[in-house]
């Protein structure tokens, strides 16, 4: 579709993947609104990139609606949404369980996508089209013993996209889950040493952005799109288990 003249909203846009995606979109002619809870960092990123910024706590439903309203006031429409805000917890479920950390992680990683969809879809319906990407993770496709809470909410994100994607596609709106491995962003700062010891490579942020841009232009919906080290971005193929066959005769 090309990005010239498109309007995008990027949550978690002050840093990392969100900021890098915004830079790429702006470089290809789009207008971008950054939404992030970090006001000072977000304002600085917006000034550097030539974007707009609104402070947004994605765990609050009204904040997502305010971000969309701000985007419509500034630019008159919304074509693209990158629901990207996310955190890790390090919280266990039995030992080392942290109730506040659990609720915060579920609020940012899962509620942020749910509330984001609730806000952006009506605006895209006004256009008759749109493209939405929600950031899941490799942890949304495989077990993650060191952070089961993160694993749970990232599985939920890709499940929501797989469930809602085909329905929205009928309205001209694509919704897909982005499932990157460990990328060179702040979210892995606390586990870098362990990743190095395990021989797990980090993905360059620009490679993940390549996957984001490909998804924005995709003609499919309801997919989990992997971006992993050492392989080309691709749709994850879930194993399909055949149902029981009726007995013959």
Active-site amino acid positions: 150
Sheet holding 224-227, edge to edge: 52-55, 31-36, 7-11, 80-83, 130-135, 173-180, 224-227, 234-235
- Tokens 């919906």 locate to 221
Q: Are 190 and 144 in contact (CB under 8 A)?
A: no
SS3 of 73, please? helix
SS3 of 247, please? coil
Q: What is the DSSP letter of 128?
A: T
Burial class of 48 by CB neighbour count within 10 A (0 to 12, 13 to 18, 19+): exposed
Q: For residue 210, give both structure tokens.
A: 């390549």
Q: Are 215 and 133 in contact (CB under 8 A)?
A: yes
Q: What is the DSSP letter of 5?
A: T
Q: For residue 123, give both structure tokens.
A: 């605006």
Rounded Cα distance, 237 and 141, in Å: 10
Pairing of strands 80-83, 130-135: parallel
């Amino acid at each position: 579709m090309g990005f010239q003249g498109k309007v995008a909203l990027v949550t978690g846009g002050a840093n990392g993947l969100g900021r890098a995606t915004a830079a790429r979109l702006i470089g290809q002619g789009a207008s971008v609104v950054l939404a992030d809870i970090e006001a000072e960092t977000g304002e600085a990123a917006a000034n550097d990139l030539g974007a707009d910024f609104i402070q947004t706590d994605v765990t609050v439903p009204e904040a997502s609606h305010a971000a969309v309203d701000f985007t419509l006031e500034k630019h008159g429409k919304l074509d693209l949404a990158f629901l990207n805000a996310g955190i890790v917890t390090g919280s266990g479920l039995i030992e080392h369980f942290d109730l506040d950390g659990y609720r915060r992680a579920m609020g940012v990683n899962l509620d942020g996508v749910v509330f984001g969809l609730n806000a952006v879809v009506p605006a895209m319906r006004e256009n008759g089209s749109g493209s939405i990407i929600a950031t899941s993770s490799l942890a949304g496709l495989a077990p993650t013993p060191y952070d089961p809470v993160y694993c749970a909410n990232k599985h939920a994100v890709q499940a929501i996209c797989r469930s809602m994607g085909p329905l929205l596609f009928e309205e001209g709106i694509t919704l897909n889950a982005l499932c990157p491995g460990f990328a060179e962003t702040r979210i892995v700062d606390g586990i870098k040493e362990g990743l190095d010891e395990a021989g797990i490579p980090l993905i360059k942020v620009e490679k993940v952005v390549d996957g984001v841009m490909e998804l924005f232009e995709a003609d499919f919906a309801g997919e989990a799109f992997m971006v992993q080290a050492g392989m080309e971005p691709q749709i994850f193929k879930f194993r399909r288990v055949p149902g029981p066959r009726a007995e013959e005769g």
